Each structure stands twice: as C-alpha cells, then as structure tokens.
C-alpha cells in the first residue's frame, strides 16, 4: 500500500512507525512558509540560524563524501541544464552575441552544483554564509582535481564550444549572507572599481536545498527578485513538504537550523507571485532516495523517496 503522503513510499519498504514521529510534536508543528513581513524599512533581509552555519562549517571538509549530497546535486543540475541552454539561446538572439549568462547561486555550499554549471555560463557568483563551505569551494577552484574535472566535463557535454579560459576561472566565491540586491559585496554592474555604482543584475539565479533553512522566505525571494535583470529567471530546487514524514529528510541530529520540512507547492506558487515574479511554475522534477534508518522505528538500511520541486519565476521586463 502506498504511503498517503508519498506514493513512492510504500509500507513494504518503510517500517517507521507513526508513534516514533509523534514523539517530536515541536518539530512537526506546522511552520509558515513565510513569516509576516516586518515594518522595518529593511524588507529585503533574511536570516539563518547561526547553529546551522556552525554545522555546515564543521561538515564542510567531509561534505562531498556523502553519496546523497552528490546525487542530489547531480539531479539538480540535470533539471537546470535545459533551462540554462534555453536562456543562453534567448540571450544570444536578443543581444546578437555569445556573451553567455551571468548567474548567481545562493547557498552554493562546496560548489557541487556550481562546478557543473560554470562551463555552461559566462560567470557565476557563488555565495554562501558558511566560511568552511566557501573555503572548500575556493580550494577546488585553485587546484581542480582530475576527478572533479572529469565529472563536470561528463555532465556538461552540451556546453557551447570548447572552453578557452582556465577551468573554473569564471566562478567568484563569496562568503556572505545576502540581504540586499545592492549589497557592495556583489560585482558592480559595469566592472568598474567603484563601490558606489549599481550592482550587477543576473540573468539567472539558482539555489539548491537552501529554502528549507530560510526563516523568512518572503524577504529571501524579494532579495532574489531585486538581483535579477529584467527578463531574468530564478530556478530554485528543494525537497517538497508532502506531509509529516517529510521531517525524515534530515536525521534527528541535524534538525537544528531547519526552518521547514520541505516546500509546500501551492503556497510557494502564491508567494512567488506576491513578491513580483511572473510565469511562476512549481513542479516536482525528480525524487531522491535517502536513508532514514536513524529515525526511531526504522530498520537498518531503510530508505525513503523524497520528491524535489523546481520553483521557477520570471522578473518582468517592464
């Protein structure tokens, strides 16, 4: 029999009991997809829990060793790649040049997605508030391993023509919590060394497994909207909130810093429209099988399928 919250999760493959989950009422209490906007003038700000950053700093060195992390990044790239190709073609037609896309990745981590996207675009600003994650990405950029290079080349077979620059030289890693589209930490619009000029506006903004850590999604999405060039798009991926069992995406020891157990599809569609995005689409694009054996009542080696959403939106041209 299929689980009522996730058809891919059958009773035959999961023995986790409802009683085990019910022992965590504080964690299962419904959390708003977004919080009431503050009356402060700094409406384009969002926060993350410092405990979460500390965990990511501590885990950065071993982050890439997790097969589930590797697989989710690969699947995210597979979902984003057609969009990148399409947007690149549209920009080429509009400008008459092969300038390529300028991309912003928010919550880049160790760069597992960054390094796959970089060969397909003109530039990618990779930003993350965890210093340990950014340092790991910087090390990859400075001394790319043969294994990581071959992985990216294999994944990016459709890249437009051979690369003429040093691999990964178009990646700008930044350790920062982005609150403002005009934050001087971002590259200037015209590349001039003048911090007072407008900040660059991006053709595409991506994030992967970030939104479930963000307390105020309204402010987060407003910031992304302000970072886009007119006609630019966001493409955000995260696991879906399909019901109480979505809590098992994280083991019990890693729930601190998690603001919501997945993204609610209809609520996300409405919120993206409210902050100004057009052509909003929030769709399930793939499922990721993860171990849930650390939850009480689960068998050793037990796994569960988690659906992932791709949340797309366009900043209107006018």
CATH code, 265? 3.40.50.150
In a domain, 281, yes or no: yes
Eight-state DSSP code of residue 296: T
**Contact at 8 Å (CB) between 263 and 237?**
no
Instruction: Identify the band that residue 35 occupies on the pLDDT scale cut at 50, 70 and 90.
Output: very low
Over residues 41-71, the pLDDT tens digits come to: 333 333 443 445 676 777 777 778 999 999 9
Strands 228-239 and 202-208: parallel
28 pLDDT higher than 50: no
Nearest to residue 128, comparing CAs of 78, 167, 171? 171
Residue 1 lies in a domain: no
Mean pLDDT, the chain, as a whole number?
Answer: 81
Q: How does 33-48 read in b/e, with b if 16+ C-beta sit within 10 Å?
A: bbeeeeeeeeebbbeb
Phi, psi of 118 (to 5 degrees): -50, -45
* 78 in Cβ contact with 286 (< 8 Å): yes
The pLDDT value recorded for residue 25 is 33
Output the pLDDT for position 166: 77
Q: Say what the pLDDT of residue 153 is.
A: 46
- Residue 191 φ/ψ region, left for φ over 0, alpha for ψ in the -120 to 50 degree band, beta for the rest: left
What integer pLDDT is reported at residue 150 of this predicted model? 40
Q: Is residue 8 part of a domain?
A: no
**Residue at 4 is within a domain:** no
pLDDT at 164: 53
Q: What is the pLDDT of residues 204-232, one digit of tens each?
A: 999 999 999 999 999 999 999 999 999 99
Over residues 130-150, the pLDDT tens digits come to 999 999 999 999 986 644 444
Structural domain includes residue 144: yes
Burial class (CB in 10 A: 0-12, 13-18, 19+), 145: exposed
Give the residue numbers spanning the domain of 89: 18-314
The answer to whether residue 12 is domain-embedded is no
Across the chain, the runs of DSSP E, i.e. the strands, are: 102-106, 123-128, 171-175, 202-208, 228-239, 278-291, 303-314
Number of domain units in the chain: 1
Closest CA to 180 of 35, 13, 30, 43: 43
> What Cα–Cα distance (Å) separates residue 255 from each residue in 27, 35, 52?
8, 19, 9
Q: How far apart are CA 299 and CA 294, in angstroms?
A: 8
CA atoms 6, 266, 275, 104: torsion sign: positive
With the CA atoms of 121, 233, 60 and 138 taken in that order, what torsion angle do they form, in degrees rounded to the nearest 10?
Answer: 30
Query: CB–CB of 181/134 below 8 Å?
Result: no
Tell me which residue has tokens 């796994």.
303
Give a yes or no: residue 82 inside a domain: yes
The pLDDT assigned to 3 comes to: 38
Do the domain assignments include residue 6? no
């Amino acid at each position: 029999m299929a689980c009522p919250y996730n058809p891919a999760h059958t009773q035959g493959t999961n023995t986790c009991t409802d009683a085990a989950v019910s022992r965590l009422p504080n964690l299962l209490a419904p959390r708003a997809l977004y919080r009431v906007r503050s009356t402060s003038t700094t409406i384009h700000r969002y926060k993350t829990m410092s405990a979460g950053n500390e965990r990511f700093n501590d885990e950065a060195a071993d982050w890439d060793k997790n097969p589930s992390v590797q697989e989710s990044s690969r699947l995210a790239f597979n979902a984003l790649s057609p969009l990148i190709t399409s947007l690149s073609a549209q920009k080429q037609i509009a400008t008459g040049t092969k300038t390529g896309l300028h991309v912003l990745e928010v919550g880049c981590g160790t760069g597992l997605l960054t390094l796959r996207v970089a060969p397909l675009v003109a530039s990618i600003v990779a930003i993350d508030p965890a210093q340990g994650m950014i340092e790991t990405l910087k090390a990859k950029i400075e001394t790319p391993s043969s294994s990581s290079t071959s992985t990216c080349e294999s994944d990016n077979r459709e890249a437009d023509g051979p690369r003429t620059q040093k691999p990964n030289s178009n990646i700008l890693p930044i350790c920062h919590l982005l609150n403002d589209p005009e934050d001087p930490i971002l590259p200037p619009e015209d590349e001039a060394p003048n911090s007072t000029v407008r900040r660059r506006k991006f053709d595409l903004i991506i994030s992967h497994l970030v939104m479930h850590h963000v307390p105020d999604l309204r402010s987060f999405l407003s910031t992304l909207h302000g970072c886009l060039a007119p006609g630019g798009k966001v493409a955000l991926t995260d696991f879906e909130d399909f019901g109480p069992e979505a809590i098992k995406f994280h083991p019990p020891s890693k729930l601190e810093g998690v603001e919501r157990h997945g993204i609610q599809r209809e609520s996300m569609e409405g919120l993206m429209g409210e902050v100004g995005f057009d052509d909003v689409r929030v769709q399930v694009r793939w499922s990721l099988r993860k171990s849930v054996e650390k939850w009480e009542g689960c068998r050793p080696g037990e796994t569960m399928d988690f659906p992932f959403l791709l949340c797309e939106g366009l900043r209107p041209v006018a």
